């Protein structure tokens, strides 16, 4: 039944996208289409887990497992990402060779997590927070931070930390933005890799169920709490590092950090969590 629902969501969306091509862009209310998707997506989880409060989905798997939630709450008293947030603050304010810093690129002291991701209508692409951090560095004559972790994750963690409580409210205002959204949606529901699995298969169909010793987290709220310090990694990493790990786990070739595929996926997933609040960084197993 769950698989049937997911197939209908994807198939219906692809058919709709084809039909929209024949309509003038100004005649289509893309946000209304997206809002309908959000309602269905969030409704799926409300039906599957009727006892879980909507706001608790920002806590990932700990919204579903009370025992694990208690342990996590205790860990949050001395969070393992605390030093990374402090390091990220220092990096955020560290002067570039030209005398400016990352702080010169972001308003509100860098508390802008709620502004990302967004679709840049001029460049016709999704912009993530980590992408914006590196573009600021390059624009000021510095090299971009490499990879999915390290300094990039630390700066992002600091900016997430000072942005806690900002509400997720990502908009889709144009045909180009809707196309990026649809690409992210297709990635989320599409099967890939040697195990022929999808993001939705693990985090919708199997959400709340055990996979070996672990309980699968719900897709709703996935993007609220990154960057994440994972015990498995022994360090803090970005959302795209998690995407990389998921692709590895199912035997699929990972994409590069900040690839169009991952940015579009982040765009779609964040939209599905509209109404929740950003609460990163976080600690996970």
What is the sign, positive or negative, of the torsion defined by CA atoms of 230, 232, 236, 242?
negative
Residues 6+ apart with CB under 8 A from 198: 6, 188, 189, 190, 191, 192
DSSP-derived secondary structure letter, 145: P
CATH number, residue 105: 1.10.760.10
- How far apart are the C-alpha atoms of 56 and 60, rounded to whole Å? 8
Residues 56 and 181 in one domain: yes
> Where a domain ends, among 161, 178, 193?
161
Examine the domain organization and report whether 59 and 36 are in the same domain: yes
Same domain, 13 and 125: no
Asked whether residue 93 falls in the same domain as residue 68, the answer is no
pLDDT tens by residue, 69-82: 888 888 888 999 99
Active centre residues (catalytic): 246
Buried b (16+ CB within 10 A) or exposed e, 80-97: bbeebbebbbebbeeeee
Kind and range of the H or E run holding 190: none
Does 181 share its domain with 275? yes
Name the region of 96 (left: φ>0; alpha: ψ -120 to 50; beta: rest): beta
Name the domain count of the chain: 2
Task: Examine the domain organization and report whether 131 and 146 are in the same domain.
Answer: yes
Q: Are residues 19 and 87 in the same domain?
A: no
What is the rounded distance in angstroms from the CA atom of residue 111 to the CA atom of residue 169?
15
Answer yes or no: do 13 and 103 share one domain. Answer: no
What is the chain's pLDDT, residue by residue, as a tens digit (285 residues)? Answer: 555 555 555 555 554 554 454 455 567 999 999 999 999 999 999 999 999 999 999 999 999 988 888 888 888 889 999 999 999 999 999 999 999 999 999 999 999 999 999 999 999 999 999 999 999 999 999 999 998 899 999 999 999 999 999 999 999 999 999 999 999 999 999 999 999 999 999 999 999 998 777 889 999 999 999 999 998 899 999 999 999 999 999 999 999 999 999 999 999 999 999 999 999 999 998
Residue 229: name the closest of 91, 76, 126 by CA. 76
Among residues 161, 181, 215, which one ends one of the domains?
161
* Host domain of residue 66: 2-78+169-284
């Amino acid at each position: 039944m769950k698989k049937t629902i997911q197939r209908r969501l994807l198939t219906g969306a692809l058919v709709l996208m084809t039909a929209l091509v024949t309509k003038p862009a100004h005649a289509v209310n893309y946000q209304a289409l997206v809002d309908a998707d959000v309602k269905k997506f969030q409704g799926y989880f409300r039906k599957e887990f009727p006892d879980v409060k909507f706001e608790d989905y920002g806590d990932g798997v700990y919204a579903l497992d009370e025992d694990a939630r208690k342990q996590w709450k205790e860990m949050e008293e001395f969070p393992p990402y605390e030093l990374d947030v402090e390091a990220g603050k220092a990096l955020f304010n560290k002067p570039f060779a030209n005398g400016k810093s990352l702080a010169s690129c972001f308003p509100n002291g860098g508390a802008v997590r709620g502004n990302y991701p967004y679709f840049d209508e001029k460049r016709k692409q999704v912009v993530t927070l980590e992408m914006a951090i590196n573009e600021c560095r390059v624009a000021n004559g510095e090299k971009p931070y490499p990879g999915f972790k390290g300094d990039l994750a630390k700066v992002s963690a600091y900016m997430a930390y000072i942005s806690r409580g900002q509400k997720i409210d990502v908009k889709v205002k144009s045909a180009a933005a809707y196309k990026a959204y649809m690409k992210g949606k297709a990635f989320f529901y599409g099967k890939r890799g040697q195990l022929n699995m999808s993001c939705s298969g693990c985090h919708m169909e199997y959400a709340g169920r055990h996979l070996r010793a672990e309980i699968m987290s719900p897709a709703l709220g996935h993007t609220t709490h990154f960057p994440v310090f994972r015990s498995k990694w022994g360090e803090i990493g970005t959302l795209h590092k998690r995407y990389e790990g998921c692709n590895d786990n199912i035997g699929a070739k990972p994409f590069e950090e900040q690839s169009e595929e991952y940015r579009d996926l982040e765009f779609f997933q964040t939209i599905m969590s509209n109404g929740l609040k950003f609460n990163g960084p976080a600690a996970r197993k």
